[in-house]
Amino acid sequence: MRKLLILVFVALFMVACSNDSTETAQSSEPASKPAEDTVQRATDTVKETTDQVVEKAQELKDEAGQYVDKASDAVAAKAEELETGAENMVKQGSDRLAALTPSAMAANTFERGSEIYQKNCSSCHSSGIMGAPKLGDDRYSADIEELVTNSINGIGRMPARGGNRNLSDEDVRAAVEYMVEESK
């Protein structure tokens, strides 16, 4: 680009000089052939340089187009990858949400309550040992919150949390709800 500007400047300078010499020549004698040749060479050089600049610009444009195509392909591939990942996350979230619906939660709680009862409560409550109410007993028709509180804190001969301090309040509630449901 710098060469082009220099050549244009030289050509204009030569044209200006040529005009001055032409005016001088016209007033006194005919135009000189060497000045015309110099102007022609400068014009040809400017044209040649302009053609080279246009050609180089086209090459750069083509190269830039190739980079844009590659970048577009990479962006499209990444977008597809992200879309697939997002779809998988939505499916996983939907599956988890479905597991938390009231009926699924109730089934999970009932199942968990049954397991807790079998491991921690059945030794006393299946036989009625030490006065423990057996499944099906009328004492399970009492207020469920009262039953849960008594089971957490202990009552009569029953120790707190049925003797298993590792049971959480939710675990105790699940076992009590299971026993109440089984007693209906």
Determine the residue type at 72: S
Question: Could you list the pLDDT tens digit for every one of the 184 residues in the chain?
Answer: 666 567 666 666 776 666 554 444 444 445 568 888 888 888 898 899 888 988 988 998 899 899 999 999 999 999 999 998 888 888 888 777 766 666 666 667 789 989 999 999 999 988 889 888 888 888 777 788 999 999 999 999 999 998 999 999 999 999 999 998 888 8
Structural domains of the chain, count: 2
Give CA–CA dist 21/10, Å, rounded.
16
Q: Are residues 122 and 84 in the same domain?
A: no
Structural domain including 120 reads 102-182
Predicted TM-score (pTM) of this structure: 0.44
| Phi and psi torsions of 74, nearest 5° | -65, -40
Does one domain contain both 91 and 11? yes
Question: Could you say which of 67, 96, 125 is where a domain stops?
Answer: 96
